[in-house]
Amino acid sequence: MPSLKTPQVLLFGAVLTVGLIVALFPFFPRQLGIDEGNVAKRDLVSPRDETFESQVLTQQARDLAALAVPDVLVPIDVAPEQLRKLDAAAATIADIREDGSLDEAAKRRSLLVLVSRDGTDTILLLSDDRWQRIVVEAGQVLGTVLASSIAPAAVDDVRDGLIQQIATDLTADEVDVVADLVEPLIVSTLGVDEEATNVAREAAREGVEPQFQTITRGQVIVEEGERIDATAVEFLEEVGLLSPRVEWETLAAVVMISVLAALTLALYVRQFPIPGMVTARNLVLLALFIAVPVLLAKLHFSLVLPDDNRRFIAYFLPLAAAPMLLSTLLGARLAIVIGLIQAGLMMFAVISLPDLSLVETIQPIDVGRVFFVYGLGAVIGAYAVQRADRANQYAAAGVLVGGVIAGLLFAFWLLEPERTASEAGWMIAAATTAGLGSGLLTAGGYVALGALFGVTTRVQLMELAQLSSPLLRQLQDEAPGTFHHSIIVGNLGERAADLIGADALLVRVGCYYHDLGKVAQPGYYIENQLAGDNPHDGMDPRESARIISQHVKAGMELAERHKLPERVRDFIPEHHGTRLVAYFYRLASQQDPNVDPALFRYPGPKPQSRETAIVMLADSTEAMVRASEDRSAERIDVLVDEVISERLAEGELEECDLTLRDIRTITASFKQTLRGVYHPRIAYPEPSTQERGARLGRFRPGRRAPPLPEAPAPYRARPPTG
């Protein structure tokens, strides 16, 4: 399998480094939960020396300076309006006095709206002349009063001294009536100039110097039991307890951890290439898929740790789903490595949480618990789903992950001196949520993720393995011999792949479709020549070889047209590699010993994976054994050894990662399977006289036997196509 090139490795490492720096960047949504007005549950102490401008104290001083500035007042002309109101009131009273339709009680009720009860009695007893005198005096007094400057705050004082300004020739009752009429109409003759007042107050604010505060490390900001005021909240913010600052040491640690983790994974994917992970797009997606769970974990931990209430909420996240998804798509080995590195990064995220130790404490046991729960959960989950192809397997994997997490939580719980039995329920809830959640996310997400990465999923392979799929139906109908050969090769390859730990399902599907191109000209292949005529008889060997090798190109075109996954398409050219079309090459070399072998080679490439190499060996072995007249167990063993030795000698297995141990296992598997396929059968003796009589007795003399049903269309004899 080709390894990643240096630019691809650098791209993966760079994207992963940036992603991890973003994920681990010292930003945390949860800060110290203190609000103004709260009561401190313990002493809050400054962790550093700090001198700062106190916005709270500065604002308070400026507010006091602004409040000390009086309103700026300017004269306003209110006399005309107030005199009009007086004239209106006097006219109303005169009308009531002169209204003959009203009795005395009704007049009193109407006058009470305008004057006091005593004034009502006086007005009803006055003569017209004295009433007119009161009206004139009221107008004069009101005009005189409103001609002076009356501040809003002095209105009540002016009203209190009103009687002293009324003429002395009036009786006491008449003076009270004048006061009743004038007093409500006395208002301020000075208005507030808002703009000038604001300018003056702003000038007073600006004249206040900033208020600076100094606090030393270890100084108590708020004592236990004290109420927290705005000044204390400001102190807590400035020393970093409410909004921790990004320290350069923490940022440097984040960068170093991110670079080392990314470098480790980049070297791993270079050393152990992953099928399908060779494009820049897929490498970027893989890097993001590694970094995003770390980011989610860090944000979650910052919200729920330290776990003072002991609810184990930090372990509810189904983060094992990420390595489990990678295991189903890219292999368990990569998923386990990524899962362990992610767990280590999550542990670092817990260690780098803000320093809230003066208020809340993260215990060392939390750090170890995070690594073991999410690390071992990832390992077990990745192992459990590496070959899963059914829903119940994902459910079982989720249960297994949940069981491991529950065991780990219980083990750490036993180490804690302060523990209660009620915490067992929270641990079980956390393990169940994380385990089953991971299984469900894996089952529901791996198809979508496979499409995103362009990786062939188990579901796709299971669908393609159905013999009722359209392409296999077409192969069965148009090239039945090839179809039967593919089924036997599938049995050979699947068993061998399972024994060496290769992808057995992929091998079976690859076997089914490896000769798909033969449907284009099925009659040119011996297994489909049911009538016995061979169109190659009399043809030039070069032309025959060209036609035979053409099935590779035809198969690729048909596979692309039907959108077969890339990993399945790889079996079509790689199962022949760059081998010779040996039969026709040897015929041609008999005619011309100097014939060019290149004219008789398949286009290749050589097998690039263990799976395609297995199919090459299974295809050649099955064909060789089928062509042999002697299919005894001993002869089968010899033929299998010859075929595999020949492929090794030809160098066709040089570009795949089959080991010699794998080849020995494959050889033994082929021998065992082929012995079962071509097992000997016992020849039956001729039927006895009694059997013949019983058969003949089923038909009465003179009655014809019923006709046999006509064979289905695909099995009728047909001339070979060219």
Tens digits of residue pLDDT in 106-127: 888 888 888 888 888 888 888 8
**Banded pLDDT at 507 (limits 50, 70, 90):** very high
> CA distances (Å), 16 to each of 11, 21, 298, in order?
8, 8, 16
In 339-496, the DSSP E strands lie at none
pLDDT value of position 296 = 92
Confidence of residue 660 (pLDDT cuts 50, 70, 90): very high
> What confidence tens digit (pLDDT) does each residue in 574-602 have?
999 999 888 888 888 888 888 888 888 99
pLDDT digits (tens, 9 = 90+) for 3-31: 567 788 888 899 999 999 999 888 766 55
Provide the 3-class DSSP secondary structure of residue 191: strand
Q: Quick one: how far is CA 527 from the chain centroid?
A: 52
Residue 390 DSSP symbol = S
715 pLDDT more than 50: no
Q: Which of 124, 125, 227, 142 minimizes the C-alpha distance to 179?
A: 142
Q: What mean pLDDT is predicted for residues 442-451?
A: 77
pLDDT for residue 47: 67
AA letter at 620 = S
pLDDT per position as a tens digit, 350-380:
887 765 444 455 667 788 889 999 999 999 9
Is the pLDDT score of 560 beyond 80?
A: yes
For residue 434, give both structure tokens: 């994380």
Q: In which element (H, E) is residue 221 found?
A: strand 220-222
Q: How far apart are CA 17 and CA 22, in angstroms?
A: 9
Mean pLDDT of 673-696: 78
Q: Which residue has the higher pLDDT, 708 or 317?
A: 317
* Mean pLDDT, residues 205-222: 82
Instruction: Output the DSSP codes for 343-362.
Output: HHHHHHHHHTS---TTT---
379 or 229, greater pLDDT: 379
The whole-number average pLDDT for the span 220-247 is 74
pLDDT of residue 249: 80
| This model's pTM is above 0.75 | no
Taking all residues of the chain, what is their mean pLDDT, rounded to a whole number? 83
Q: Collect all residues with Cβ–Cβ distance below 8 Å to 476 and sequence separation of at least 6.
A: 467, 483, 714
Q: How confident is the model at residue 713 (pLDDT cuts 50, 70, 90)?
A: very low
- The mean pLDDT of 673-699, rounded to a whole number, is 76
Which of 88-97, 358-367, 530-539, 629-638 is the least confident region? 358-367
Would you tell me the crossing angle of helices 230-238 and 55-67 to the nearest 10 degrees?
140
The DSSP call for residue 309 is T
Q: What is the mean pLDDT of residues 53-73?
A: 83
Q: Is the pLDDT of residue 524 over 80?
A: yes
Q: Whole-angstrom Cα distance, residue 112 to residue 206?
A: 54
* 591: its two tokens: 């005619």
- Of the candidates 515, 485, 506, 516, the residue with the CA atom closest to the CA atom of residue 568: 506
What's the start-to-end Cα distance of the chain, in Å? 37
Nearest Cα neighbor of 158 from 139, 182, 191 is: 182
Give 409's pLDDT tier (boundaries 50, 70, 90).
Answer: very high
Would you state the pLDDT for residue 305? 76
Paired strand residues for 191: 74
CA distance 440 to 432: 12
Q: By the 8 A CB rule, do 138 and 182 touch? A: yes
Weakest-pLDDT range from 102-111, 173-182, 232-241: 232-241
What is the DSSP-derived secondary structure letter of residue 463? H
pLDDT reading at 245 higher than 80: no
Nearest Cα neighbor of 119 from 165, 163, 175, 71 is 175
Contact (Cβ atoms closer than 8 angstroms) between residue 371 and residue 349:
no
Q: What is the pLDDT of residue 712?
A: 47
For residues 227-245, average pLDDT: 73
Residue 275 is predicted with a pLDDT of: 65
Q: Mean pLDDT over residues 389-407, rounded? A: 88
Q: Can you give the pLDDT at residue 374?
A: 93
Q: What is the mean pLDDT of residues 438-456?
A: 79
Confidence of residue 669 (pLDDT cuts 50, 70, 90): very high
pLDDT band at 308 (very low <50, low <70, confident <90, very high): low
Can you read off the two tokens belonging to residue 475?
Answer: 């192969």
Nearest-angstrom CA–CA distance, 91 and 88: 5
| Listed range (336-340, 455-459, 524-528, 539-543) with the worst mean pLDDT | 455-459
Report the distance separating Cα 152 and Cα 154, nearest Å.
Answer: 5
- Check whether 421 has a pLDDT greater than 90: no
Which helix (DSSP H) or strand (DSSP E) does residue 75 occupy?
strand 73-75
Domains with residue ranges and CATH for the chain: 6-31+244-351+361-455 (no CATH), 73-192 (no CATH), 469-677 (1.10.3210)
pLDDT at 584: 87
423-453 and 364-384 helices, crossing angle to 10°? 50
- pLDDT at 403 > cutoff 80: yes
Percent of the chain with pLDDT over 90: 30
pLDDT of amino acid 722: 33
pLDDT band at 246 (very low <50, low <70, confident <90, very high): low
